[in-house]
Each structure stands twice: as C-alpha cells, then as structure tokens.
Amino acid sequence: MHILIVEDDDVARDYLAKALREVGHTVDVAADGLAGLHLASSIAIDLAIVDRMLPKLDGLALVQSLRATGRKLPVLILSALGDVDDRITGLRAGGDDYLTKPYHMSELLARIDALARRGDSGNAERNTRLRLADLELDRMTRRVTRNNKKIELTAREFQLLEFMMRHSGQVVTRTMLLEGVWDYHFDPQTNVIDVHISRLRQAIDKDFDKPLLHTVRGAGYSLREDE
C-alpha cells in the first residue's frame, strides 16, 4: 500500500515511516500541510496519515481540500489536542478515523489495516451473511452457526462477533471494539473488553477443535482461520 504521512514532528514522522515500511508499505512523507496537499494531489496514494496541527496548511484544511477535489482515499487524522469534540470535528472535516497522541504503533497499524480494507469490505457491509471457515453469521435472522450447529449469543455478543467478522483476518484493538461496538471513546481502567471477548470465545470456540478468536499480544484480538 502507498501511504502518505503528513507530520511536522520529525521524531514521530521518522519512526512512523520506518514502522510502516517494515510491514511492507511504500511511504511518502511531508513535513507541512502544503507539501502534503501537493504530494497527495500529484501521486497515486492509497491512504494518508495527517497530523492535525501542521505548519502552512492546517491538517483539517488539508483533508477538506482533498475531499473538495473529490479524492476518496482513506485518511487517518493524528491529533495532539484534547479530545471529545476534537474527534467529531476531525471526522466532520472528512477524516475516516482519528487517533490521539501518544499512540501505540500496534493501534495505528490495526486502524490503518481496517481503513485500507474498508474499501473492499463494502460488499461485506451489504452482505447479510458473513462467513469465516465453518462459522456463519446471518444479520437478517440474527442466527449464528458453527459447523451447522446453532450458537446462542446475547445481543451484544452478536454485535461483537459481527464486528470481528467484518474485520476478520485483521488485528482489532480494544479501543476499536469499544468505539465500533459500544460507540464509546475512552480507556476503561478495568479489563471490560477482555471479559466480553472471553465470553464470546467461550461461545464460538469452546466446543470446536480449531479456535478462531485469537489474542494478539500487546495489540488486541483477531478473528481468523489459523494456518
């Protein structure tokens, strides 16, 4: 994937570029808003990571300009501001996701992955049936089966599983789950998400040979068929 990083803080930018290259992305960097906008309009880019406060052209203005020219590429906004409202402003300006500094690289990578695949998971969005290996989820009948055996889930477990299945094969972090399933944007002190996940795991993996729901150490969870 070709990723553009627009970030004025060189330490953060260099580490981000290095980390993205290490996982196999092509990376272009810009240190201010104008250079970023110029790069974004001149070369083919799959995804942009834009810092919110940039010299010359503000990050939000950059995203708005991009959107005004009809560019639909996914944009992740990085912000060193407060939060709550800033997040909403960022998303309204045309950002697809919003991450507050300081962040863990694993969190950023997981979110980029989710953003990149959102384009081709558009089908999954419309699909009423999601499937992974022998696990099936029907959004219309709200029925979940594994190996044709019906699995009883609570309403929230169903939502959680649906979210995981839409992101199957990707790493999903705890904050992504809290945002995506509950629509909350804070870090709970207690391990609330882990307990919900372990209940879901009980329901879908316990009576079957091959586990599908995996814990990714230091990052989050992943629903995938193990090779």
Partner 1 sequence: MVSPEQRFLGILDTSPFRIAIVYSIVFACGAAALLGAVDFAVSRVVDGSTDNLIEAEVQGLREQVLVLSRSDFIELIEQRSQDQDVRGAVYLMVDPQLRPVAGNVPAWPKIDASEGKWIQFKVSVPFGDETREHEMRAQRFPLPGGYHMLVGHDVQERLDVKHLMMRGLIAAVVLTLLLGMGGGFWMGRRILAQAGAISAVATQIMSGDLSRRLPVRNADDEINTLAREINTMLDKIEQLTLGMRTVLDSAAHDLRTPLNRLQATAEGAMNQLVPGSAERRVLERVTTEVDHMRGTLDALLRIALAETGTVAREPVDLSELVASMVELYAPVSEERGITLHSAVAPGAEVLGSRQLLAQALANLLDNAIKFTPDGGQIRVLLKGSRGAPEVIVEDTGPGIPADKRELVLGRRVRLDEARKFPGSGLGLSLVAAVTKLHGARLVLDDAGPGLRVSLKF
CB of 60 to partner 1, least distance (A): 13
How far is 122 from 28, CA to CA, in rounded Å? 27
Contact, 104 vs 111, CB < 8 A? Answer: no
Of the residues 34, 57, 81, 219, which one makes contact with partner 1 according to CB under 8 A:
81
Q: The tokens 């992504």 sit on which residue?
A: 176
**Amino acid in the structure at residue 173:** T
**Per DSSP, what are the bridge partners of residue 176?**
none
The piece of 55-63, 97-105, 118-126, 133-141 that touches partner 1 (CB under 8 A) is: 97-105
Contact region for partner 1 (CB under 8 A) — 35-43, 57-65, 74-82, 167-175?
A: 74-82
Q: Residue 132 or 181: which CB sits closer to partner 1?
A: 181
Residue 174 interacts with partner 1 (CB under 8 A): yes or no: no
In Å, how far are 12, 42, 48, 67, 186 from 71, measured between CA atoms? Answer: 26, 12, 11, 5, 31
Q: What number of chain residues touch partner 1 (CB under 8 A)?
A: 35
Three-class secondary structure of residue 90 per DSSP: helix
Please report how close the Cβ of residue 155 comes to partner 1 at its closest, in angstroms. Answer: 9
Q: For residue 175, which of 86, 99, 92, 87 has the smallest C-alpha distance?
A: 99
Q: How far apart are CA 113 and CA 5, in angstroms?
A: 15
**Residue 43 or 88 with smaller CB distance to partner 1:** 88
The C-alpha atoms of residue 180 and residue 92 are separated, in whole angstroms, by 17
Q: Is 105 in the site for partner 1 (CB under 8 A)?
A: yes
Please check whether residue 123 is in contact with residue 130, taking contact to mean a CB–CB distance below 8 angstroms.
no
By CB under 8 A, the residues from 32 to 71 that bind partner 1 are 53
Which residues 6+ apart lie within 8 Å of 135 measured at CB? 144, 145, 146, 165, 204, 212
Query: Interface with partner 1 includes 85 (CB under 8 A)?
Result: yes
Q: Is 101 in the site for partner 1 (CB under 8 A)?
A: yes
- Asked if 199 is part of the footprint of partner 1 (rule: CB under 8 A), the reply reads yes
Nearer to partner 1, 44 or 155 (CB): 155
Interface with partner 1 includes 216 (CB under 8 A)?
no
Q: Is 21 in the site for partner 1 (CB under 8 A)?
A: no
- 19 counts as binding partner 1 under rule CB under 8 A: yes
- Report, in angstroms and rounded to the nearest whole number, the Rg of the chain calculated over CA atoms: 19
Interface with partner 1 (CB under 8 A): 9, 11-12, 15-16, 18-19, 53, 80-85, 88, 100-105, 156, 182, 184-192, 195-196, 199
